[in-house]
Amino acid sequence: MKKIAAVESFFSPEHRVTLEKTAAECGFSVDYYPEGHLPADRAAEYEVIYGLCPPDELKAAANLKWFCCSFAGVDAYMNEDIYPSKDVMLSNSSGAYGITISEHILMVTLMMLRQMPKFEEIVRAREWEKGLSMRSICGSSITVLGTGDIGTNFARRAKALGAKVVRGVRRTKKAGDPAYDEMYTLEELDSILPETEILVMALPGTRDTAHILSRRRIGLLPQDAYVVNVGRGSAIDQEALVEALNEGRLAGAALDVCVPEPLPKEHPLWSAKNLLLTPHISGNMSLGITRDLDVALFCEDLRNYAAGRKLQRLVDRTLGY
Amino acid sequence: MKKIAAVESFFSPEHRVTLEKTAAECGFSVDYYPEGHLPADRAAEYEVIYGLCPPDELKAAANLKWFCCSFAGVDAYMNEDIYPSKDVMLSNSSGAYGITISEHILMVTLMMLRQMPKFEEIVRAREWEKGLSMRSICGSSITVLGTGDIGTNFARRAKALGAKVVRGVRRTKKAGDPAYDEMYTLEELDSILPETEILVMALPGTRDTAHILSRRRIGLLPQDAYVVNVGRGSAIDQEALVEALNEGRLAGAALDVCVPEPLPKEHPLWSAKNLLLTPHISGNMSLGITRDLDVALFCEDLRNYAAGRKLQRLVDRTLGY
């Protein structure tokens, strides 16, 4: 029987039942590596690997045909040299993170608009001060840069909260989800930045997205704009962002991702003004619904794989997503 | 010409134009008291007062027929003795606060579910720790106690975010807003508390709502439940809540209101475990949309008043809302 290595710690007994049942139907058995490592002396047994197998452990899987990453962001798996062969397919778990990450975006956006970090500071000092100005998602102009599962889940929520306009920006012109009022290509981004009150970035880490929010583009945002980044830290010119924040040229930023991670203790990001920093937690696997979806998406693609159909979440390694 | 005293600080030039235009159409002129006080020697000039006139300044308004409070919560105006006559009508600004307060509820609920206060502590210490468990509004069972403008605005948002069930609880059986999956009366509250993961309280401060979340009812909530209160602090047995939080019998609480306000420096609420406290800011007037709505609602009722129709937001002083 062909074999799957499930290299992940989060599987519940119910997840294992689902995995094993689907695997059996597809002619596979499943071995678990909950400690997150694939032993080199067993790696050659597996045709399929699912989970967060460290990039440097894939090479030993001489018979590997498909690696399904349990994360949505696969930039750590883009280097061709880590694979035993060019023909190994890479897929991701895009679709499992839309709910949890869009709730994170909503939370940090509201926290910034409603001055929550300042109110928390007031309460820590046991003061009772109320007079800080607030804004609302209702009536706001929002730009979502990266219109995949995460960006689109947020766009839907922002519309439900009464955003005035939600603009989606993507690499190429395609019909957008109805959650977006208007769709733009990357080439048109500069023209909408001056009207953007909240810029949400949910992009994969690729060559094309590096420093996409450049110093020049930061300068195009209005002074009262907020920036949220949940994709990859590399998408922002961090030095320019820190300067803009400290000089009050932006109202604030919420970064769940940065360069490098973890952030060194002396890094200027820690103390940037009006910066709401979180340690790359927006997609935390601890959310039950994320885990359930992750397993369901793998099983769906396992059926595709077994039937010889194209994988739903196949990653194009030349594009990076 | 009959006269209106507008005792409020927040009016913009545009608000003044709207007020004066509507007043003129109704046969009134408007005097402004932006410092928030009505001089005793002028009080008798006014048939209508709109704003946050201090309760002890109303008595001098010998010719007052209608006081429209610019807040939704009018418990400070329930004492009959503060009025020059029993016939003075009291109305409130219910309807102006649904957007801002429901965004506050959403924010604090997400902050608790996603352990944000702990992550903020981690980041203040410049640590990079990720492994805290999180929950989601998506899939949650939510009970909204008080199904007025605020509760219903939150219910709509919770449904849009994928809540499993949103139950509304009100004093009397009436058809509910479609935002609620199920409607219950206060008598039925005990039966749904054990299935409640998030309890949102948005009740007016009346005799009937005092300590409605009693020690006994706190005991009916599951250990992993969260409580949010944006109505009046009097609705909760605070001592019992602090005990339940400190003993881990509740997952957490977010209070924007408490007893007394401001909270004295040595009060046990400041240091209660898993408590997210804010200084009664959820309905902050600084939100432009709230101010605009407040003025629009007063103008609507001014037209009703001038035409001899019943006020839309008339408060029944025997009920308290």
Q: Could you tell me the pLDDT band of residue B219, with boundaries at 50, 70 and 90?
A: very high
Q: Say whether pLDDT at B261 is over 80.
A: yes
What percent of chain B has a predicted confidence (pLDDT) above 70? 99
Residue B123 has its nearest CB partner, among A119, A279, A287, at A279
Mean pLDDT to the nearest integer, A210-219:
98
Q: How far apart are the CA of A214 and the nearest CA of chain B, in angstroms?
A: 25
pLDDT value of residue B320: 75
| Chain B: residue whose CA lies nearest to A280 | B130
3-class DSSP state of B48: strand
Lowest mean pLDDT among B27-41, B58-72, B106-120, B275-289: B275-289
Lowest mean pLDDT among A205-219, A301-315, B169-183: B169-183
Q: How far, in Å, CA of A297 to CA of A208, rounded?
A: 27
Q: Could you tell me the pLDDT band of residue A288, with boundaries at 50, 70 and 90?
A: confident
Residue with tokens 């439900």: A160
Cβ distance A289 to B117 less than 8 Å, yes or no, reads no
pLDDT value of residue A318: 82
Cβ distance B161 to A160 less than 8 Å, yes or no, reads yes
Q: Could you tell me the pLDDT band of residue A25, with boundaries at 50, 70 and 90?
A: very high
Considering the entire predicted model, what is its pTM?
0.90
B162 contacts in chain A (CB < 8 Å): 99
| In chain B, beta strands by DSSP E | 2-7, 28-32, 48-51, 66-69, 89-91, 141-145, 165-170, 182-185, 198-201, 226-229, 252-255, 275-277
What number of other Cβ atoms are within 10 A of residue B233's Cβ?
A: 18
Q: Say whether pLDDT at A93 is over 70.
A: yes
Q: How far apart are the CA of A287 and the nearest CA of chain B, in angstroms?
A: 5
Q: Say whether pLDDT at B285 is over 70.
A: no
Q: Could you tell me the pLDDT band of residue A1, with boundaries at 50, 70 and 90?
A: confident
Q: Rounded to a whole number, what is the largest CA-CA distance in chain B?
A: 68
Q: How far apart are the CA of A182 and the nearest CA of chain B, in angstroms?
A: 21
Q: Say whether pLDDT at A311 is over 70.
A: yes
Element (H, E) at A276: strand A275-277
Q: Say whether pLDDT at A285 is over 80.
A: no
Q: How far, in Å, CA of B318 to CA of B100, rounded?
A: 28
- ipTM confidence: 0.90
Q: How many CB pairs under 8 A join A and B?
A: 139
3-class DSSP state of A144: strand
